[in-house]
Amino acid sequence: MSVAAESPSPSLSSLSDEDDFADFLDAELELISAADSASRGAPPGSPSDDEDEEEEDVVVDLDAVGKGSNKRRRVEEHRQDQGTATRPEEDVIAGSVKDAQIKKCPPHPGFFGGLCINCGKSQDEEDVPGVAFGYIHKGLRLGTSEMDRLRESEVKNLLRERKLVLILDLDHTLINSTRLHDISAAEMDLGIQTAASKNADDPERSLFTLQGMHMLTKLRPFVRKFLEEASNMFDMYIYTMGDKAYAIEIAKLLDPGNVYFDSKVISNSDCTQRHQKGLDVVLGDDKVAVIIDDTEHVWQKHKENLILMERYHYFAASCRQFGFSDQSLSELMQDERESDGALATILDVLKRIHTIFFDSGVETALSSRDVRQVIKRVRQEVLQGCKLVFSRVFPSDCRSQDQIMWKMAEQLGAVCCSEVDPSVTHVVAVHAGTEKARWAAGNKKFLLHPRWIEACNYRWHRQPEEDFPVPGLKEDKGKEKVAEDVTCH
């Protein structure tokens, strides 16, 4: 198999029990994939004098499933005609099936094309286990224990390559899309539709018409560089609540050479829970997965893996949908900056996470490291050394400690408290007239708006305090006395 041929690892020649299934699945999928592409019409005119090289470019969706490298794997149609360097598929499958038959069913390890991959029983007659991996291959379903085994071997391979897993949301994270009939009058006047269909050959262009979908899509500035650099550190998945056809179209825009994602494009039909995204359909462990998404609530179970993105709104309809009445970037003919926009910022964070994961903590075995701990640690560096007091920011009938801003500040490494003392560094307020706000002014402490905390959270960096003034600072100074609310903690 190409896996065996590609991999330099000597352990592959003596497959452990755990490897049997992965091997079997590799073989199965490659065969079927090859058959699929043959029936679609395999690329004609392949050079026949170079058969021991990968010449057919039939891409198989094995990155997520398999073992061996996580480079794209290819199937050579004429492999069976070759020498001993690669084994004929039939032998491999026969061998694996023979080995697999030693295990008992049920529980069935998984189903492929409606049949148990171990005993061959039909899925319809049995309790169907586990999770469907339709994005890897239609009709693939894996039971829990086999999933765990595949995950384990996949993670082992990734770590050997100094890679983690990166899950990327599409809308408002890497791109912004709008329906054609939602284009605003101003956008229309600026000729946005014409612009989207121009310069089709320009590799740098970022505005596209999605043919057949009546949509325009704008790539977020810096996204190409982001993917290129992130791909050196991560095995990447797209994970969107959009539908499959849309996800695949966008994947083509982001990854025209199909070098980053291959089949690892997960869409709404793959989710196992309504309105929730889960790592259960990703063949990487929670311990190595970093998620980049602008929507927090869909990752209920995986908040520790999540890096929350500042939303990218380019089109007017997108702004309106989220309640912004200002002109959109498209209407202003502006955009996020490449150099210090959201994706450049997050790329730096990813680099730091990657470095800490692999290069610090040498005393801990790779396999027992947890990227969630690293994310936590990097997040806590942001407001390290800051001591915050909140002044009338929260409703008085609730516990301050339970409020989002309080928790966010703590996650960023700040110490939060309810009363002022000399060690306090920042007073957070929405109005400058409060007693604590006055105290801040009198004691040369920072007085700032809670938006500062949010900005620090998105930017992963302590933001300049002076950019977040509290309204009423000048005009109300000394005039208005607002009683300090001390019941709110």
Identify whether the C-beta of residue 3 lies closer than 8 Å to the C-beta of residue 26.
yes
Which of Zn ion, Mg ion, none binds 171 (CB below 5-8 Å, type-dependent)? Answer: Mg ion
215-219/115-116 β-pairing? unpaired
Q: Which two tokens stand for residue 234?
A: 């991560």
Angle of helix 371-380 versus helix 404-411 axis, rounded to 10: 100
CB of 61 to Zn ion, least distance (A): 23
CB of 318 to Mg ion, least distance (A): 11
Sheet holding 426-429, edge to edge: 415-417, 387-391, 426-429, 446-448
Which of Mg ion, Zn ion, none binds 12 (CB below 5-8 Å, type-dependent)? Answer: none
Task: Assess whether the previous peptide bond of 106 is cis (omega < 30° from 0).
Answer: yes
Sheet holding 115-116, edge to edge: 115-116, 110-112, 140-142, 131-132
Residue 118 interacts with Zn ion (CB under 5 A)? Answer: yes
Between 101 and 197, name the residue whose CB sits nearer to Zn ion. 101
Q: Which two tokens stand for residue 39?
A: 């029936």
CB of 118 to Zn ion, least distance (A): 4
Residue 141 interacts with Zn ion (CB under 5 A)? Answer: no
- Give the total residue count for the chain: 489
CB of 265 to Zn ion, least distance (A): 29
Identify whether the C-beta of residue 96 lies closer than 8 Å to the C-beta of residue 3.
no
Residue 119 interacts with Zn ion (CB under 5 A)? Answer: yes
Residue 123 interacts with Zn ion (CB under 5 A)? Answer: no
Residue 116 interacts with Zn ion (CB under 5 A)? Answer: yes
Chain residues 330-349 in contact with Zn ion, contact rule CB under 5 A: none
Which of Mg ion, Zn ion, none binds 42 (CB below 5-8 Å, type-dependent)? Answer: none
**Is residue 138 helix, strand or coil?**
coil
Residue 105 interacts with Zn ion (CB under 5 A)? Answer: yes
Cα–Cα distance for residue pair 255/408, rounded to 1 Å: 34
Cα first-last separation, the chain: 64
Between 19 and 171, name the residue whose CB sits nearer to Mg ion. 171
Between 294 and 310, name the residue whose CB sits nearer to Mg ion. 294
Cα–Cα distance for residue pair 262/60, rounded to 1 Å: 8
CB of 109 to Zn ion, least distance (A): 7
Task: Taking the CA atoms of 31, 37, 39 and 45 in sequence, report the sign of the dihedral they define.
Answer: negative
Which of Mg ion, Zn ion, none binds 108 (CB below 5-8 Å, type-dependent)? Answer: Zn ion
Nearest alpha-carbon partner for 371 in 353, 389, 385, 388: 353
Which of Mg ion, Zn ion, none binds 327 (CB below 5-8 Å, type-dependent)? Answer: none
Between 190 and 213, name the residue whose CB sits nearer to Mg ion. 213
CB of 193 to Zn ion, least distance (A): 54
Residues that bind Mg ion in the complex, under the rule CB under 5 A: 169, 171-172, 294-295
Which of Mg ion, Zn ion, none binds 118 (CB below 5-8 Å, type-dependent)? Answer: Zn ion
Between 148 and 296, name the residue whose CB sits nearer to Mg ion. 296
DSSP class per residue in 207-232: EEEETTTTEEEEEPTTHHHHHHHHTT
CB of 114 to Zn ion, least distance (A): 12
Q: Which two tokens stand for residue 52?
A: 């021991």
Between 157 and 177, name the residue whose CB sits nearer to Mg ion. 177
Chain residues 33-72 in contact with Zn ion, contact rule CB under 5 A: none
Which of Zn ion, Mg ion, none binds 154 (CB below 5-8 Å, type-dependent)? Answer: none
CB of 298 to Mg ion, least distance (A): 8
Between 99 and 286, name the residue whose CB sits nearer to Zn ion. 99
Which of Mg ion, Zn ion, none binds 105 (CB below 5-8 Å, type-dependent)? Answer: Zn ion
Between 122 and 364, name the residue whose CB sits nearer to Zn ion. 122
Contacts by 49-55 with C-beta closer than 8 Å and gap 24+? 51/76, 51/78, 51/81, 51/82, 52/82, 52/83, 52/85, 54/2
**Is residue 122 helix, strand or coil?**
strand
Between 118 and 206, name the residue whose CB sits nearer to Zn ion. 118
Between 105 and 430, name the residue whose CB sits nearer to Zn ion. 105
Contact positions toward Zn ion, by CB under 5 A? Answer: 105, 108, 116, 118-119
